Structure 1
Amino acid sequence: MKIEIWSDIMCPFCYIGKHNFEQALEKLPFKNEIEVEWKSFQLDPTLDAAQPQNTIEYFKEKKGFPADQASQMIGQVAQMGKGAGIDFNFEKALIINTFTAHKLLHLAKKYGKANEMEEALFKAHFIDGKNVGDIEELVSLAGNLNMDKEETRQTLTSDQFDYEISQDIQEAKNNGISSVPFFVLNGKYAVSGAQPAEVFADALQQTYKETVSPFKDLSKEGGASCDTDGCSA
């Protein structure tokens, strides 16, 4: 069963949603039958790729929020994060254009490490205060996952994966996806936002049940039929 997840590295609810989804998945007996594919999404593609901002500055300048309102919102998200096992450090988080970071995520797919890289990027951005738009910071993350550093550097400084990222974003638009995180379950159902683990568990179980047994039997009991052992009325 395939799960596609649209996400952006600078989205705190994507980080929370990832942890809640994984918490739900870990308890399901069919967890090893789940294939997860991370899809790129940019919440603010107009951000400067070279000049990071802190979170409060970003909310004040780009969103027009007063500093006290921005601080209150950040505090609420931080509290929500604790419930998912995440200790957000918004004071250190650097807001930057995430396009280059998405290139690293696509390269990680080649190594079968997209999920590990998604977690590493979230941690680097939200907890460690790393600049996820900086080439050398991203190369370092790749090295930590035993990815080839020189290949990573060449990839991040080229147009490789530009098309794939654009396709992910266009696919989101075509499907009416305007906010993240957004989970598509086996191409049939969707779960939007950082839902609690139990919501993910229920959705996964329902989707899996229909995947294993795709037909919903609407017939009445006692209908005459034949099977491999013969016929009965």
Structure 2
Amino acid sequence: MSTTLKIDFVSDISCPWCAIGLQSLLRAAESVRDEVTLDLQFHPYELNPQLGPGGHDVAEHLMQKYGMDAAQLAQNQAAIRDRGAELGVTFNMAGRRAYNTFDAHRLLAWAREQGAALQLALKQALFVAYFTDGENLADQDTLVRLAEAVGLDGEVAREIVAGDRYADIVRNEEAFYQQQGITAVPAVIINEQYLISGGQPVEVFANALQQIARGDAG
């Protein structure tokens, strides 16, 4: 008999390790599907909440923020591309810009109310649009198109991104997880008790899911 585990996945759409972590978690869940079922929900975290409409150049930002030189940046990006390729995630790094993701998080909050499957589909579509296709996730037309593509109501999506619905929900959730000590993403919280941080390998997630489902976790 399968055990259902509640998964609160705290992440940002502009975080490559969040895309890697999600795909790794989903593969892990598939590998232990006879024992574990996920009740998966996504929650917001903004890496760059101060960004304006134009965003900023990712390479310049990372080099400035972490003191990287060009060689270190290239090594870091190669590691991300390699990990992504193992999981079927394509990262196109050249010329990528980071954009404000607040509106995307508001859409995800709405999508959660429409059902877990739709929220997951939108989350994955946002990752592909940003990391693979290089799209601007601060652009309202782009967000509406992606929502429609996964089966959400485009008219409602446009009303949401054009207004301020779900803004308080996003801000309150961000504040809640910050108060819980979440300072980096992805943060994968299982049954509101166990935290797995970062884009861990499939085996790490699979082992954790099994142990928690069996009651063996320390």
Which structure has more relative contact order (CA 8 Å, sep 6+)? It is: 2
Distance in 2 separating the partners of 1:93 and 1:106: 26
**When the two structures are aligned, how many residues end up with a matched partner?**
211
Q: Cα deviation per residue 1:91-136 (whole Å; 9 max; x = unaligned)?
A: 1533111111111111211221111111000000000111011000
1:91 is the counterpart of 2:66: no
Distance in 2 separating the partners of 1:192 and 1:206: 17
Q: Unaligned regions of 5+ residues in structure 1, if any?
A: 217-233
Q: How does 1:108-127 map to 2 (within 5 A)?
A: 108-112=111-115, 113-127=118-132
**Equivalence for 2:157:** 152
**Equivalence for 1:25:** 29
Distance in 2 separating the partners of 1:169 and 1:13: 18
Distance in 2 separating the partners of 1:192 and 1:13: 10
1:14 is the counterpart of 2:43: no
TM-score by length of 2: 0.90
Which of the pair is proportionally richer in helix?
Answer: 2
Q: Select 1:47's aligned residue among 25, 48, 51.
A: 51
Aligned-residue offset at 1:70: 2.3
Aligned-residue offset at 1:34: 2.0
1:143, 1:149 within 8 Å by CA — same for their partners in 2?
A: yes
Tell me which structure has the larger Cα radius of gyration: 1
Aligned-residue offset at 1:63: 4.7
Residue 194 of structure 1 aligns to a residue in which SS? Answer: coil
**Equivalence for 1:58:** 61
Q: How does 1:183-194 map to 2 (within 5 A)?
A: 183-194=188-199
**Equivalence for 2:133:** 128
Residue 3 of structure 1 aligns to a residue in which SS? Answer: strand
Q: Select 1:102's aligned residue among 92, 105, 124.
A: 105
Distance in 1 separating the partners of 2:188 and 2:82: 23
Q: Unaligned regions of 5+ residues in structure 2, if any?
A: none
Identical-pair percentage: 33
Distance in 2 separating the partners of 1:53 and 1:43: 13
**Equivalence for 2:9:** 5
Distance in 1 separating the partners of 2:129 and 2:183: 25
2:96, 2:134 within 8 Å by CA — same for their partners in 1?
A: yes
Identify the range of structure 1 (108-117 vs 67-76) with the bigger mean alpha-carbon deviation.
67-76
Identify the range of structure 1 (86-95 vs 11-20) with the bigger mean alpha-carbon deviation.
86-95
Distance in 1 separating the partners of 2:203 and 2:75: 27
Superposition CA RMSD, Å:
2.0
Aligned-residue offset at 1:78: 1.3
1:205 is the counterpart of 2:210: yes
1:135, 1:153 within 8 Å by CA — same for their partners in 2?
A: yes
Distance in 1 separating the partners of 2:192 and 2:62: 35
